[in-house]
Amino acid sequence: MTDKNKKNTLTCPSCNKEFIYEGLEKNKAFPFCSKRCKMIDLGRWLDDEYRIECAQDNLEDEF
């Protein structure tokens, strides 16, 4: 691997595989390594595996 490729090597947040980032034109699934990993992550959000915590007091004030 050349020094240039080392700078562009990223880790997929879904599968932890290293991949070479070559810009948005070639890596349409960025920041994931593939469309599959991108869809797996979306499924995790939709299944409530990921949550964004908020203060309960703020939530009650809004409703």
Strand partners, 11: 18
- Residue 12 pLDDT: 97
SS3 4: helix
pTM (whole model) above 0.75: no
Q: Which structure tokens are listed for 34?
A: 């593939």
SS3 51: coil
Contact 15, 44 (CB under 8 A): no
- Which domains are present in the chain? 3-62 (3.30.50.10)
User: Who's near 20: CB < 8 A, 6+ residues apart?
Assistant: 5, 8, 9, 10
Q: Which residue has the higher pLDDT, 47 or 51?
A: 47
Strand partners, 10: 19
pLDDT one-digit tens code per residue, 1-48: 555 556 799 999 999 999 999 999 999 999 999 999 999 999 999 999
